Amino acid sequence: MALKYVPILFCPQKPLLEAPDLGSYRGRIVLDLRSSKLKCFALDDASTQRGFVIVEDEKPGAKTSITGKIDGDGTTDSKAFHKDLNLLPKPLSITNLSPYPANGSNVRIAYQGNPGAYGEDAALKAYPNCETVPCDQFEAAFNAVELWLVDKAVLPIENSVGGSIHRNYDLLLRHRLQIVREVQLVVNHCLLALPGVTMQEVKRVFSHPQALAQCEMALTNLGIIRVSADDSAGAALMVASRGKKDMGAIASARAAALYGLDILKEKIQDEDDNITRYLVLAREPIIPGTDRVYKTSIVFTLEEGPGMLFKALAVFSLRDINLSKIESRPQKGCPLRVVDNSNGGSAMYFDYLFYIDFEASMAEQRAQNALEHLQEYAGFLRVLGSYPMDIVV
């Protein structure tokens, strides 16, 4: 039996239960639950109030207008609806589903360090108009995202000279944030000092341990004492605030401009091609696609047995999926695994977590099949994120 709506006028004398507001539509839906028949009334901002009640269709195929008049040919004049249609929610477009704004406006990004740190440079590369929020430690940036103090966090995961930042690999597993993007940043270490100070006057240089390690040969040749600091920009701030001529800092050119320091030497790092890879973390994952090159990061453990790591890696090779990174970390909760040997005794081995980045999107069937296959060998498997690769350095 076909059903339709016809208008009625009403003046409610009973309390009406109001349902939640429906998005951007200005009307409200209220139900009279005490009536013997369920009625639905639509209230808008106009002075007149229209209502609708479900009734049987007197003429199959006929249409009823807003005034209740059925045209002779079964059509209806819906001019009265034209104004209300503009109030309906608009369909989502692909831009509404974008994982991040094009220019990063209205986005708060946390990073480790003081203003002028390389982490802030990475955030501004990914989101040029974002609001950056400095954090004293890596874990504070994770917590800021989880507590909704910021929208995302940008944290380093590896450097082409210094290698992996193991602390952040451990924090990725401890927290439940999702990788939504990667940023590759060219690092230009500069030797900074107070205005008017020469390089010969600098006896001590402060910076993050990674930055000092990347400039080890250059600093050794200069005969400068290396002193560790929490971050490179913080070292520049300390030199500027203490005002001692024998102090210098290894930091970025932007940090020199922020704190009023002179650049004594640019590109003081041992390797000219110095690139740091950053991960952008958010509370929710993005919807992976196939419109660009994607990368997926996972972490897993393996069951005991010969050739288990070979079998785990083969699930990607069988599907022509390239692995761009493999990292292993001992499990902190239970670092040792006891394995019985042929003599009836027992042997103890380290138990590892394996972090892998592979070049495929989780929207691709081959990636889904690979992880389904991997579960046959893995005791634990977690997808850390599937996100667009940064192909612009």
pTM: 0.71
In this structure, of 12-21, 149-158, 236-245, the range with the lowest mean pLDDT score is 12-21
Average pLDDT, the chain: 79
Percent of the chain with pLDDT over 90: 60
Ranges of CATH 3.30.70.260 domains, the chain:
286-388
Residue 159 pLDDT exceeds 80: yes
User: Rounded distance, CA 18 to CA 21, Å?
Assistant: 9
Residue 44 CA: distances (Å) to CA of 7, 27, 87? 14, 4, 10
> 80-186: which CATH topology?
D-Maltodextrin-Binding Protein; domain 2 (3.40.190)
pLDDT digits (tens, 9 = 90+) for 116-148: 999 999 999 999 999 999 999 999 999 999 999
pLDDT classification of 257: cutoffs 50, 70, 90:
very high
DSSP state of 71: P
Contacts of 386 (CB under 8 A, 6+ apart): 285, 286, 288, 294, 295, 296, 297, 361, 362, 363, 367
Report the alpha-carbon distance of residue 233 to residue 230 in Å, rounded.
9
DSSP E strands in 92-199: the ranges are 108-112, 131-135, 152-159, 163-164, 178-186, 190-193
Quote the pLDDT of residue 338.
54
Question: What pLDDT, on the 0 to 100 scale, is given for residue 230?
Answer: 87
Rounded to whole angstroms, the Cα distance separating 268 from 311 reads: 44
Measure the CA–CA gap between 19 and 4, rounded to whole angstroms.
22
According to CATH, what is the number of the domain 190-268? 3.40.190.10
Superfamily holding 286-388: ACT domain (3.30.70.260)
- Position 332 pLDDT exceeds 60: yes
Per-residue confidence (pLDDT) for residue 305, from 0 to 100:
81
Residue 56: predicted pLDDT: 42
- What confidence tier does 330 reach under pLDDT thresholds 50, 70, 90? confident
Would you list the DSSP string of 215-229? THHHHHHHTPEEEE-
Q: Which of 130, 120, 200, 177 is nearest to 154 (CA)?
A: 120
CA-atom Rg of the chain in angstroms: 31
pLDDT category of residue 13 using cuts at 50, 70 and 90 = very low
- Compute the average pLDDT of residues 320-325: 96
Helix (H) or strand (E) holding 299: strand 294-302
Q: Note the pLDDT of residue 299.
A: 96
Which pLDDT value is given to residue 203? 94
Range list for CATH 3.40.190.10 in the chain = 80-186, 190-268
Q: How many CB atoms lie within 10 A of CB 237?
A: 23
| Helix orientation angle between 138-146 and 166-174, rounded to the nearest 10 degrees | 20
Exposed / middle / buried, residue 164 (Cβ in 10 Å: 0-12, 13-18, 19+): middle
- pLDDT-based confidence at 333, cuts 50/70/90? low
pLDDT value at residue 256: 96
pLDDT tens across 229-250, in order? 989 999 999 999 999 999 999 9
